[in-house]
């Protein structure tokens, strides 16, 4: 599916779950793996975990699969990989994220999660780079997502579909992660639409609301994962203090730089968590 051709998810009369089924069948064919057990979406800073969790048995551009689009941002990966874990389990690594701020609609944002579920995955690990509100979170700090506040005013659920989000970010999986690294901090992730960063006043609002991490992904994906019956683990890499928490303005280059510096450490952490699942 190239960007110039029509994405089937943009047609109103299609069933997004049917598109996800088609995508999963294509992935099974391309990888030779009938069912995957775990899926991981690797956000900025987390990419090299894919090399650490096991043996890559297949790798191809996501846009070759039904419903996926070309990456909007250079450096945002764009590959799907099938990985054989030492345990014998199969992991699907999604290096391609469609962000809500791209404006293609929420169906395309959550397509990778729905496809992961359709490949058989029961566990969805969502990672991201994000801004931190606690001032002791220096850039490079990984944080477990304990819950979220969705400020996009949107939902991947359509119609009268009521899904319980109590324990959305699985206590059981967070416990596994804490078994790997007991001093991992936890926080409430707040998804903004972006792509602008927050104003200092918005960051103060988040503080008042009970949020600790600000980002532009993950919450909508987590809802879709729960709808699909998956257990969700969320991890944020704090690449910058949120606007106004630090006296210096945010720079995208600094955010990318902090991610690169932290990458080896947090990728090792994530690989160890996957091994402990
Ligand atoms: I990396 O400070 C990254 N992503 N909304 N705010 C929001 N998203 C982010 C930030 C941030 N840093």
At 39-60, the pLDDT tens digits run 999 998 899 999 999 999 999 9
> Is residue 152 included in any domain, yes or no?
yes
Say how many domains are in the chain: 1
The one catalytic residue among 66, 198, 202, 231: 198
Q: Is the CB of 242 under 6 A from ligand 1?
A: yes
Q: Is 198 a catalytic residue?
A: yes
pLDDT of residue 77: 55
Residue 115 has pLDDT above 50, yes or no: yes
Residue 151 has pLDDT above 60, yes or no: yes
- Give the residue from 132, 83, 139, 86 showing the smallest Cα distance to 263: 139
> Is residue 138 included in any domain, yes or no?
yes
Residue 139 has pLDDT above 80, yes or no: yes
Q: Is the CB of 262 under 6 A from ligand 1?
A: no
pLDDT of residue 244: 92
> Is residue 2 included in any domain, yes or no?
no
Residue 50 belongs to what domain range? 8-276
The mean-pLDDT minimum among 127-136, 154-163, 200-209, 247-256 falls in 247-256
Residue 74 has pLDDT above 80, yes or no: no
pLDDT of residue 1: 42
> Is residue 1 included in any domain, yes or no?
no
Instruction: Let me know if 32 is exposed, middle or buried by CB neighbors in 10 A (0-12, 13-18, 19+).
Output: exposed
The mean-pLDDT minimum among 40-54, 73-87, 224-238 falls in 73-87
pLDDT of residue 107: 96
Enter the pTM of the model. Answer: 0.95
CATH of the domain at 42: 3.40.50.1580
> Is residue 3 included in any domain, yes or no?
no
> Is residue 80 included in any domain, yes or no?
yes
Alpha-carbon gap, residue 64 to 80, rounded angstroms: 10
Alpha-carbon gap, residue 97 to 195, rounded angstroms: 14
> Is residue 202 included in any domain, yes or no?
yes
- CA angle 43/184/114 to nearest 5° reads 35
Task: Please give the number of the atom of ligand 1 that sits closest to the Cα of 194.
Answer: 5
pLDDT of residue 72: 66
Specify whether the CB–CB gap between 232 and 126 falls below 8 A: yes
The mean predicted confidence, pLDDT, of the chain is: 93
CA of 62 to the centre of ligand 1 (A): 24
Cis-peptide, bond into residue 249, ω within 30° of zero = no
Mutation choice for ligand 1 from 201, 217, 255, CB with most ligand atoms inside 8 A: 255
pLDDT of residue 252: 83
- Helices 219-227 and 111-118 pack at an angle, to 10 degrees, of 30
At residue 2 the predicted structure's pLDDT band, cuts being 50, 70 and 90, is: very low
pLDDT of residue 228: 97
pLDDT of residue 196: 94
Give the number of other Cβ atoms within 10 Å of residue 224's Cβ.
27
pLDDT of residue 73: 62
């Amino acid at each position: 599916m190239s960007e110039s051709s029509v994405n089937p998810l943009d047609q109103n009369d299609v069933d997004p779950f049917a598109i996800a089924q088609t995508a999963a069948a294509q992935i099974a064919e391309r990888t030779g793996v009938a069912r995957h057990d775990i899926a991981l979406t690797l956000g900025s800073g987390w990419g090299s975990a894919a090399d650490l969790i096991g043996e890559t048995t297949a790798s191809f551009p996501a846009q070759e699969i039904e419903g996926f689009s070309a990456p909007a941002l250079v450096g945002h990966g764009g590959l799907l990989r099938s990985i054989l874990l030492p345990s014998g389990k199969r992991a699907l690594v999604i290096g391609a994220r469609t962000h809500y701020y791209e404006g293609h609609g929420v169906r395309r944002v959550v397509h990778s999660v729905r496809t992961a579920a359709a490949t058989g995955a029961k566990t969805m690990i969502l990672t991201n780079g994000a801004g931190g509100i606690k001032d002791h979170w220096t850039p490079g700090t990984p944080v477990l997502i304990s819950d979220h506040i969705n400020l996009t005013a949107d939902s991947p659920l359509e119609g009268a579909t009521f899904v319980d989000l109590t324990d959305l970010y699985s206590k059981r999986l967070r416990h596994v992660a804490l078994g790997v690294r007991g001093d991992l901090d936890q926080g409430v992730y707040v998804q903004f639409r972006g792509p602008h960063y927050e104003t200092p006043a918005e960051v103060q609002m988040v503080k008042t609301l009970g949020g600790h991490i600000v980002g532009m992904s993950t919450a909508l994906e987590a809802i879709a994962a729960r709808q699909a019956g998956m257990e969700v683990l969320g991890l944020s890499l704090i690449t910058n203090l949120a606007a106004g928490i630090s006296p210096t303005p945010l720079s995208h280059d600094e955010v990318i730089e902090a991610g690169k510096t932290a990458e080896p450490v947090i990728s090792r952490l994530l690989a160890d968590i996957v091994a402990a699942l």
